Amino acid sequence: MLGQENKKNIIGVFDSGLGGLTVLKYFLHDNPGYNYIYLGDNARLPYGEKSPETIYDYTREAADFLFTAGCNLIIIACNTVSAQALRRLQQEYLPSAYPDRRILGVIRPLVEAIARDKKIKSVGIIGTKATINSDAYKLELKKLKPELRIEQQATPLLVPLIEEGWARKPETKMILKKYLRPLKAKQIDALILGCTHYPFLYKEINKIMGRRILVPQPGEIIARSLVDYLARHEELGLTTPANPTCKFYTTDDQRLFKDWGEKFLGSEIKNLERVKISEL
Ligand code: DGL
């Protein structure tokens, strides 16, 4: 069994790249007292176009890295991984490799928030191809609110545009409109941003959807659900140290991670290292 003894009171946050920083930003705001390690597998992004098997293999390597680094709990900030690999990690990998640690995803908290809101009778979901093809949001939503009308739309061009630094370009706004207007025409009450990168386009998306359609900020909901989870799971041994730390790792170029990452995180990235997590 791998490194059972080295729990170091750390919350790991994993994403295929920079997008998960939009989630970490809210963790640092709502749960500021904890130690965090953020890992972005930028070298192998995008995950959203890859097969479930590859997504699982990559994520297992990331989890090994984070648990070996001492994380008690890993939050998978990536929607694609939450949709395609989370269940298998929880059922196959965790019980044999790290039975006393936990891995959580981002789909459940978002789904619960939508299901709780009585005014929402129909919902749209946008995400990568892998997330939409998995039907993960749809299946979870149907379990909690069978009467909900669900409209899904894969929006695969958005991640590369954001990664290219084209988020504010008129071309991106045009593509957003192409994707979102058909959803809007379906009279949805809310839109789930089912991808880590989309909060970066929050203002533009909100504007296109108009006042009537609720667009929850995913990071806000996920951070609130983490507060609640930590309060209910003292056995994980996560406490708030006197001098909490936040460490960043990327599998690709550090300078790019820092430059772009600070835009996603909204604050300075210190304590950053490049790391190799692949077994290949
Ligand atoms: N992090 C991914 C997600 O939330 C988007 C980027 C990728 O495709 O790897 O789905």
Which CATH code is given to the segment(s) 4-105+220-279?
A: 3.40.50.1860
Phi-psi region of 116 (alpha: psi -120 to 50; beta: other; left: phi over 0): alpha
Calculate what percentage of the chain has a pLDDT beyond 90.
94
195 is catalytic: yes
Q: Is the pLDDT of residue 155 over 60?
A: yes
Alpha carbon distance 195, 185 (integer Å): 22
Residue 5's pLDDT is what? 64
Q: CATH number of the domain at 107-217, out of 3.90.660.10, 3.30.2270.10, 3.40.50.1860, 3.40.50.410?
A: 3.40.50.1860
pLDDT tens for 242-256 read: 999 999 999 999 999
121, 93 Cβ separation under 8 angstroms = no
Q: Rounded distance, CA 245 to CA 180, Å?
A: 39
Active-site hit among 78, 83, 89, 193: 78
Q: How confident is the prediction for the chain on average, in pLDDT? A: 95
DSSP β-ladder status, 71-76 and 190-194:
unpaired
DSSP 3-state of 152 = strand
Domain range summary for the chain, segments of one domain joined by +: 4-105+220-279, 107-217
Residues forming a β-bridge with 12: 37, 74
Contacts of 207 (CB under 8 A, 6+ apart): none
Q: Is the CB of 23 under 6 A from ligand 1?
A: no
Ligand 1 pocket test: pick from 38, 110, 195, 200 the residue with the most ligand atoms within 8 Å of its Cβ: 195
Pocket of ligand 1 contains residue 80 by CB under 6 Å: yes
pLDDT given for residue 165 in this prediction: 85
Taking the centre of ligand 1 as the mean of its atom positions, its distance from the CA of residue 251, in whole angstroms, is 15
Check pLDDT > 60 for residue 4: no
Beta-bridge partners for 124: 151, 191
